[in-house]
A and B are shown apart, each in its own frame.
Chain A
């Protein structure tokens, strides 16, 4: 079966650092993706990991450990506009290019 777990909600303060975790148990793996989704809008791509380690993109970084089935998204210097849901998605490797999403973590950034 396919299972992707994320915390439901997190709260952090403007200017702080927050880490959003994602664990996955899937029948295969061909990359892990992080998306940001504001309420009522479409997901937008943030970051992608296919090999173990850290990928850094400005204020956002994502880490992957394939042996542990674990990833995290790190957001630095939080801004109010970062209040959104953050979705973790695993891509199915079986040639069909399916993306399987977790339920997302709703992040609230407080002033």
Chain B
């Protein structure tokens, strides 16, 4: 059974048109993460939540925003996607200090 679910798996959006990616989890984990991964590169952390506490990485562009309305759901909003934002977006969760991160299947974003 999938524990971290991302929708959709594939998303095509137009240049400049706002897009939202969603993530849900059944693990009841405190921490949720959004990573951006481009081809042959490391996953790059955009931001993460510890419960409702939001932690933004210093180099995450303002174009990327996130919401976590409750423990189970987290959203990534890209306000004005550019061609450089085409990537795989990975959502992950963690239960705390001594556990691994669990990843969703990812959403592959294409910008046209």
- Tell me the minimal C-beta distance from B100 to chain A in angstroms: 4
Of residues 46 to 76 in B, which have CB atoms within 8 Å of A's CB atoms? 48, 50, 55
Count, chain B residues at interface, CB 8 A:
27
Range class of the A interface residue count: 20 to 34
- Tell me the minimal C-beta distance from B60 to chain A in angstroms: 13
- Tell me the minimal C-beta distance from B66 to chain A in angstroms: 15
Partner of A97, one of B42, B97, B104: B97
**B108–A45 contact, CB under 8 A?**
no
Residue-wise, chain A 40-59 has the 8 Å CB interface mask toward B (1 for contact) of: 11111100101000000000
- Tell me the minimal C-beta distance from A11 to chain B in angstroms: 16
**A101–B43 contact, CB under 8 A?**
yes
**B45–A43 contact, CB under 8 A?**
no
Residue-wise, chain B 71-89 has the 8 Å CB interface mask toward A (1 for contact) of: 0000000000000000010
- Tell me the minimal C-beta distance from A37 to chain B in angstroms: 9
A24 contacts the other chain (CB 8 A): no
Of residues 33 to 49 in B, which have CB atoms within 8 Å of A's CB atoms? 33, 35, 40-45, 48
Name the A residues within 8 Å of B98 (CB-CB). 31, 50
**A98–B45 contact, CB under 8 A?**
yes
**B100–A40 contact, CB under 8 A?**
no
Provide a sorted-by-A list of 13 A–B residue pairs whose CB atoms are within 8 angstroms. Answer: A4-B42, A31-B98, A40-B88, A41-B106, A42-B90, A42-B103, A50-B98, A98-B33, A99-B92, A100-B45, A101-B35, A102-B42, A103-B41
Chain A residues within CB distance 8 Å of chain B: 4, 30-31, 33, 35, 40-45, 48, 50, 87, 89, 96-104, 106
Closest 4 CB pairs of A and B: A42-B103, A101-B42, A45-B100, A103-B42
